[in-house]
Chain A
Amino acid sequence: MVRVVSRRLIQLFVTLIALMTLVFFWLRSLPGGPVDALLGERATPQTRELLTRALGYDQPIWVQYGRFLKNVVTGDFGNSIRTGEPVTDVISRSFPATIELAVAAIIIAVGLGIPLGYLAARYRGRLLDNATIIVTLIGISIPIFFLGYLLKDWLTQGIHFFPPSGRISTGMDNTDVTGFFVLDGLLTREFDASADALWHLVLPAVTLATIPLAIIVRITRASVLDVLDEDYIRTADAKGLRNATIRKRHVLRNALLPVVTTIGLQTGALLAGAVLTEKVYNWGGLGTLITDSISGGRDYPVLQALILLAAVVFIVVNLLVDLSYAIIDPRVRVQ
């Protein structure tokens, strides 16, 4: 186990260095840049030159690259070009927003997906199964931003049931402890803030959860069906085990393996989906940060750090998924 983890960590390191190099040159090869974005219509040759020099963009690209690598290794990601704050501050402020959203979406997707998938398989060919298949097909094929706007239009405009955007009501004056607003409200006993944040979370989380939910339902269903056909289930049945025991110990446990893999892979999709969901709901997390940093002026330092972070999250989650196999399936442990 230790060997597996350490080998994966070395892989992680090499991947990240390669990725950082790619991102550095890729970003700088895009047309336009921070200087133009910052100056807008007001750019004159004079101000442009002053700013280019001040930002260090007049130096050869390999000098810039060397400085960048040195800074990254020492843990210094620089400051945001747009806001002037340290990149670590900018990201640690947006990170909880996205995690809060993603966790809520995962809870919905897994909490509904696995039972639904299981039931669909168990009542194969019946109404519940057919309905599930159709609904999940819609869930997979509907674009997130479209669903987001649709839900928003129905539930915040036609009837003012949910708030249209943001993480908390304006002027709530909530105390920021961890950056997770729902949790913060509980910690500081500002229960109104907690409830308000939870209320704001509903539509975005549902929007973001649809695709993973649909996928989890379908994988669970297919996987349970596979297992139900296995000889060992028949054997278990034949030797007179109770149905509940068969379902729990033999069917679910064996069927979960591909489902867990899927959940891991969905993390990447979830991050991508968060960009769109956050845009629709003015959420203010990493997704918002990515769009702002690209369209609002090629904020190189923030973008570089964000891509690095996304890669780390993705790799770590998949590492955790691999490790969880060992828990679910004892055979993997032996290997």
Chain B
Amino acid sequence: MTIGAAGCAKSDRGGDDGGKAGGGTFIFAAAGDPKNFDPIFNDDGESFRPIRQMYDTLITHKPGTADLTGGLAESWSNDPTGKIWTFKLRQGVKFHDGTALDATAVCANFDRWYNMKGEAAQSQMIYYTDVFGGFAGSPDAVYDNCKAQDASTAVVAMKKYKGAFPGAFALTAFSIASPAAMKQYGSDTVTQSGDSFSYSAFANEHPTGTGAFTFGGWNKATGEITLNKNPDYWGDKAKVDKMIIKIIKDENTRKQELRAGTVQAIDFPAPADRKALASEGYKVLERPAFNILYLGINQKNNPKLKDLRVRQAIAYALNRAQLVQTKGPGGSAVADEFLPNTVLGYAPDVQKYEYNVDKAKQLLADAGATGLTLNFYYPTEVSRPYMPNPQEIFTVLANDLQAVGIKVNGVPRPWNGGFKDDVQQFGKQDLHILGWTGDYNDPGNFVGTFFGRGKIEFGDQAMTEMFTAIGKADATVDQAAKKAAFEQVNRDLASKWLPAVPIWHAPPALVTTKNVEGLVPSPLTAEEFNTVSLTK
């Protein structure tokens, strides 16, 4: 902010009124602030939304699905060892700064990530650490090198096979940025001041990718991110001239702005408002579910929970069908597995736990666990896409458990004020509710994240049979064999291990005004807005 002398302050409004002619301006109300616009330093949906419009990934998802299709790479292939990935790049694609997207530029991105210096920068690369194991010099690093075979062929070599690929290449964090712009605006300088970080001019003011929109500015005082149509986009050019992402954190206010006609689309409407909005003529677009809510069971504090029969009793005690009906957002469905059925390795024939009070009581009696008392932790001050109303979910589940004779001691904790610490770090709970939204189409991203290694959340660090089976399935190169291996994992999770009880898949929604056409809801909340148009 600059303080100009009174009287001689100049208006710096753009002379063009691009918004008024042609395709118009599309205003989308989002629920939170982005962090910055350098893809690799981000890991949340609100940052990824604008990033996705400005950048492209090598591989992307078919609109409305989690299925892979060519992005910047027209095609890709994998050698039999699963370690060498060859990308055939689209020709004639240019970054917003006019430089060419070629194999050298792609490799420059891979090399940049791998060679990132400084703990400050590295600590912000959550997805990179997760998928690529580590950085140059780390024994866990997965990446080896990238070579430009010719201008349109990039060959990426990994040190070891990793099940996350190719799905992970479609992660927005791994978008391809212009090497020239990154150099010019010092993209890698993440500096630390006191106990926090600041990012480069590239990340804040000059994000440069190949996407359908170019960066128009981020007005933090009004909470508006402006994106302009990229007239030279390689794919379907944007139908609107301008898109504004307006940040409105309160869901009630988002709804009111929609009704007042000041925005054309809102993200994450309150589940309770969906019906009313639909009946008023707004378009409620449900995203295909790509998330999971589960009841976690910590086997450590109460020895009875180590007994499979007790955990099964808990599963039988829960009337999940009714929970979905009364508390689930529209389109929710009972979950029998920890991954949605669109993901590889979903088994159609796992053991199901239909609501059965007698069976639950019987199992508890058999296990000598009548009169069980359990500490049930649930979060407050939070609403996640898979869990819009934790407190209400807790109440219903707790009542179900009480009905079979389990005494429930409810422990509410603020999401950012103790819940995650108590549950994930200290393991104070016996039961808890938590969930996950998938990042990419791979069973490892669901099942592996929860049960692939010892987690304090589930208490028993020595469930070696489960860890080994998941590790093995994840390391299987052949896709058919991998599918079979994960199907078996999911069967065993339901019948043998039951470390948690899957509750539901709950699709988050978008709402638009009647005149918005062409917005395709994505299971990954990865909507692309170049297809959006405004009718009269």
Q: Which residues of A contact B (CB under 8 A)?
A: 30-34, 36-37, 39-44, 46-47, 50-51, 53-57, 64, 67-68, 71, 76-86, 89, 92-93, 97, 149, 152, 156-157, 160, 163-179, 184, 187-190, 279-282, 284, 292, 295-298, 300-301
What is the CB-to-nearest-CB distance from A215 to chain B, in angstroms, rounded to a whole number? Answer: 28
Closest to B436 in A: A41
Chain A residues in 8 Å Cβ range of B517: none
Cβ of B193 within 8 Å of any chain A Cβ, yes or no, is yes
Given contacts A32-B414, A171-B25, A171-B224, contact A78 B196 (CB under 8 A): yes
Q: Which residues of B contact A (CB under 8 A)?
A: 1-4, 6-7, 9-14, 19, 25, 27, 33, 35-36, 43-44, 119-120, 122-123, 126, 129-130, 192-199, 219-224, 242, 244, 246, 248-250, 252-253, 256-257, 259-263, 381, 413-422, 424, 434-437
Task: Name the contact of B381 in the complex, choosing from A85, A163, A295 (C-beta under 8 A).
Answer: A295
B4 touches A187 (CB 8 A): yes
Chain A residues in 8 Å Cβ range of B246: 166, 170
Task: Name the contact of B9 in the complex, choosing from A31, A34, A152, A184 (C-beta under 8 A).
Answer: A184
Chain A residues in 8 Å Cβ range of B416: 32, 36-37, 295-298
A300 touches B119 (CB 8 A): no
Bound Cα distance from A169 to B257, whole angstroms: 11
Given contacts A57-B195, A164-B262, contact A282 B253 (CB under 8 A): yes
What is the CB-to-nearest-CB distance from A100 to chain B, in angstroms, rounded to a whole number? Answer: 11
Closest to B193 in A: A79
Given contacts A32-B418, A43-B420, A168-B222, contact A175 B10 (CB under 8 A): yes
Given contacts A188-B11, A284-B223, 6 further A-B contacts (CB under 8 A): A31-B414, A31-B421, A82-B33, A93-B221, A165-B257, A190-B13
Closest to B221 in A: A93
Chain B residues in 8 Å Cβ range of A169: 262
Chain A residues in 8 Å Cβ range of B14: 173
B119 touches A50 (CB 8 A): yes
A152 touches B256 (CB 8 A): yes
A177 touches B3 (CB 8 A): yes
Bound Cα distance from A157 to B6, whole angstroms: 38
What is the CB-to-nearest-CB distance from A160 to chain B, in angstroms, rounded to a whole number? Answer: 5
Is chain B's binding surface mostly helix, strand, loop or mixed? mixed
A79 touches B256 (CB 8 A): no
Chain B residues in 8 Å Cβ range of A292: 33, 249
Given contacts A53-B119, A187-B7, contact A170 B224 (CB under 8 A): yes
Task: Name the contact of B195 in the complex, choosing from A64, A168, A297 (C-beta under 8 A).
Answer: A64
What is the CB-to-nearest-CB distance from A82 to chain B, in angstroms, rounded to a whole number? Answer: 7
Task: Name the contact of A86 in the complex, choosing from B198, B223, B256 (C-beta under 8 A).
Answer: B198
What is the CB-to-nearest-CB distance from B427 to chain A, in angstroms, rounded to a whole number? Answer: 13
A301 touches B195 (CB 8 A): yes
Closest to B386 in A: A41
- Top 5 nearest A-B pairs (CB, nearest first) are A78-B194, A31-B418, A54-B123, A164-B256, A79-B196
Bound Cα distance from A281 to B434, whole angstroms: 31
Closest to B413 in A: A31
What is the CB-to-nearest-CB distance from A284 to chain B, in angstroms, rounded to a whole number? Answer: 6
Task: Name the contact of A42 in the complex, choosing from B43, B197, B250 (C-beta under 8 A).
Answer: B43
Chain B residues in 8 Å Cβ range of A301: 194-196
Chain A residues in 8 Å Cβ range of B252: 149
Closest to A80 in B: B196
Closest to B13 in A: A173
A32 touches B417 (CB 8 A): yes
Complex A-B: 25 CB contacts under 8 Å: A31-B417, A34-B195, A37-B416, A54-B122, A55-B123, A78-B195, A78-B196, A79-B194, A80-B196, A81-B195, A82-B33, A83-B36, A84-B197, A93-B1, A93-B220, A93-B221, A149-B252, A157-B256, A166-B222, A169-B262, A173-B13, A174-B13, A177-B4, A178-B4, A301-B196
Task: Name the contact of A47 in the complex, choosing from B9, B36, B126, B220 (C-beta under 8 A).
Answer: B126
B129 touches A46 (CB 8 A): yes
Bound Cα distance from A116 to B248, whole angstroms: 37
Task: Name the contact of B2 in the complex, choosing from A71, A174, A177, A280 (C-beta under 8 A).
Answer: A177
